[in-house]
């Protein structure tokens, strides 16, 4: 990926009101350590802002637009940088109402407008479009390393009226890297080891179980499965933590500001702790109400936030502290 090098240095801990693609093109190459962001989901809300992402006429146009934006993100990331991208899917049509609008909410609810995903080429009404994987594959094809599909599970997911499918309770977070080797602080987000795992380590292991011999596809018998006497491995020999799994149970949290899609600070914090060194700069080109910036500052990092909606820039500035620079004109 190549792009025109930026000609204007952007300060850390700054909120910029403007089109993210235009602002990114002003930024120097390899000037940020990490990107944590959640672009507007396809066809979900109309913020009434010219140039907004998410109201394209077709999913393919939405994917092309995001691919162009993340090509610039790729350029401004350091060679060892990572991008943590939160995205969710969209259904074709408007559920059981087909092409009809909700008579009780003709303009939609919670900032939503009538669905623009009513007729999608290749999809039937009520089909999932597959937006997250369309985007993931497009970014992989453009040069990114697709390293993880993290499932953000919401224990307090919003109820849904659909009775012919399961209620959605998760979203995707794709971990993307610029290079084969990149900054990743696994210990910073390590999980406590399960109590059952600790007991199995400390217990005995006979030589007749099915894993005592080499399993096809593995290079030798795993140390955990080798025969041993009970007590041979002591509690002090066992690490109290394990590598973080790729299903994250993080509940949404209330936000009183007029922003309907703020993700929880804990979600941003986990990405930042793993993906950005202390003192580094975290970029969010879809800054919204400033959750990424808030999490960055709390954990000893800096941020650069870009947001098209000036009203959200005001919200973010009040939430984090400080103002913003207007480059929307």
pLDDT tens for each residue of 61-71: 999 999 999 99
Q: Judge whether 14 and 287 are in contact, CB under 8 Å.
A: no
Model pLDDT for residues 310-323, shown as the tens digit of each residue: 999 999 999 998 77
For the domain covering 14-190+243-326, report its CATH number: 3.40.50.150
Strand partners, 16: 306, 325
Q: Average pLDDT over the chain, rounded to whole? A: 86
Q: What is the mean pLDDT of residues 307-312?
A: 94
From the number of C-beta atoms within 10 Å of its C-beta (0-12, 13-18, 19+), residue 235 rates as exposed
Q: What is the mean pLDDT of residues 65-85?
A: 98
Write the secondary structure of 241-279 as one string of H (helix), E (strand) and C (coil): EECCCCEEECCCCCCCCCCCCCCCHHHHHHHHHHHCCCC
Q: Judge whether 253 and 295 are in contact, CB under 8 Å.
A: no
Lowest-confidence range among 169-183, 200-214, 240-254? 200-214
Strand partners, 17: 307, 326
Could you tell me what percent of the chain has a pLDDT over 90? 60
Strand partners, 242: 191
Residues 139-165 as b/e (b if ≥16 CB within 10 A, e otherwise) read: beeeebbeeeebebebeeeeeeeeeee
* pTM summary value: 0.86
Domain boundaries, the chain: 14-190+243-326, 193-242
| Distance separating alpha carbons of residues 251 and 240, to the nearest angstrom | 25
End-to-end CA distance of the chain: 28
């Amino acid at each position: 990926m190549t792009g025109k090098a930026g000609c204007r240095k952007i300060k850390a801990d700054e909120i910029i009101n403007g089109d993210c693609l235009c602002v990114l093109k002003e930024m120097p190459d390899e000037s940020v350590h990490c990107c944590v962001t959640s672009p507007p989901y396809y066809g979900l809300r109309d913020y009434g802002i010219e140039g907004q992402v998410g109201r394209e006429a077709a999913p393919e146009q939405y994917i092309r637009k995001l691919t162009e934006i993340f090509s610039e993100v790729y350029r401004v990331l350091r060679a060892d940088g990572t991008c943590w991208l939160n995205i969710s899917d969209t259904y074709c049509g408007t559920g059981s109402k087909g092409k009809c609008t909700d008579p009780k909410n003709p303009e939609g609810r919670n900032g939503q407008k009538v669905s623009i995903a009513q007729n999608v080429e290749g999809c039937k009404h009520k089909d999932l479009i597959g937006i997250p994987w369309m985007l993931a594959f497009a970014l992989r094809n453009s040069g990114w390393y697709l390293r993880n599909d993290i499932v953000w599970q919401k224990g307090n997911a919003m109820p849904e009226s659909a009775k012919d499918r399961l209620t959605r309770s998760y979203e995707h977070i794709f971990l993307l890297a610029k290079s084969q080797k990149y900054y990743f602080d696994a210990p910073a987000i390590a999980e406590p080891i399960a109590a059952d795992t600790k007991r199995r380590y400390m217990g005995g292991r006979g030589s007749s179980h099915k894993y005592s011999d080499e399993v096809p596809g593995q290079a030798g018998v795993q140390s955990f499965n080798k025969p041993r006497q009970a007590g041979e491995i002591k509690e002090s020999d066992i690490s109290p933590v394990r590598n973080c799994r790729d299903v994250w149970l993080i509940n949404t949290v209330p936000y009183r500001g007029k922003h309907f899609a703020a993700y929880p600070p804990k979600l941003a914090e986990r990405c930042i702790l793993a993906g950005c060194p202390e003192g580094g700069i975290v970029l969010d080109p879809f800054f919204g109400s400033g959750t990424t910036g808030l999490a960055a500052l709390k954990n000893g990092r800096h941020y650069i936030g870009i947001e098209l909606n000036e009203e959200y820039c005001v919200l973010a500035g009040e939430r984090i502290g400080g103002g913003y620079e207007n480059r929307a004109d």
